[in-house]
Amino acid sequence: MYSDDDLTVLDIEADLEDPLDQLPIVDESETPKPDTNAMLSILSSQDVQQRMLAARAFCELQDDRAIPHLIRLLSDPCPLVRVSAAYALGRNPSHDAVEPLIAQYDRDWNGYVRKGVVWALGNCRDRRALPTLIAALRTDISAVRLWAASALAQMATVGYEVVIASTPPLD
């Protein structure tokens, strides 16, 4: 069926090419950002999809007016809304969000949500998050542990004591 002498079936160049390399480069400066005011109003929508999309919009938009809404969405019944709110709070870091993020980490059963919460806590760069990040690094699932390690590295900007406090769990 196959001939050892026939090497024409091997196209090494074609086999090594990545189809993603063929995609055109997207110029993000041409992509319009969502309307902040519209997204703020949709954060309170009765429709789960609308709340999720609005929370995701604040992963690109920075606006302090969204923070109370995003904090409220951390306890939404839908895990997709919760994870979107967590990532949005990571892009809109606030000291007001640290305690609600910690509380959500402690009660959420969903690993994706906990991963987003850990990422957001790292971006908040608040020393109150340190015990939660250390606990996540010690006991959570691998994806959350990975993000907790990264979040702890971000805590280095908070101060020397924080770096020292986060070192023992890494031994």
Q: What is the 3-state secondary structure (H, E, C) of 110-128?
A: CHHHHHHHHHHHHHHCCHH
Give the structural domain span for 16: 12-26+33-170
Of 65, 73, 158, the residue nearest 117 (C-alpha):
73
Average pLDDT of the chain, as a whole number: 86
Over 90: is that where the pLDDT of 4 sits? no
Residue 3 domain-assigned (yes or no): no
More confident residue, 26 or 12: 26
Residue 166 domain-assigned (yes or no): yes
Over 60: is that where the pLDDT of 169 sits? no
Residue 104 domain-assigned (yes or no): yes
| Total domains present in the chain | 1
Confidence of residue 104 (pLDDT cuts 50, 70, 90): very high
- CATH code at 121? 1.25.10.10
pLDDT of residue 33: 83
Residue 1 domain-assigned (yes or no): no
Residue 2 domain-assigned (yes or no): no
> What torsion do the CA atoms of 117, 122, 128, 130 make, to the nearest 10 degrees?
100
Residue 135 domain-assigned (yes or no): yes
CA distances (Å), 36 to each of 41, 55, 74, 89, 117, in order?
Answer: 9, 11, 20, 15, 23
- Answer for the pair 66, 41: CB distance below 8 angstroms, yes or no: no
More confident residue, 48 or 157: 48
pLDDT of residue 146: 93
Q: What is the tens place of the pLDDT at every residue in 63-86? A: 999 999 999 999 999 999 999 999
Over 70: is that where the pLDDT of 16 sits? no
User: What pTM, to 2 d.p., does this model score?
Assistant: 0.77
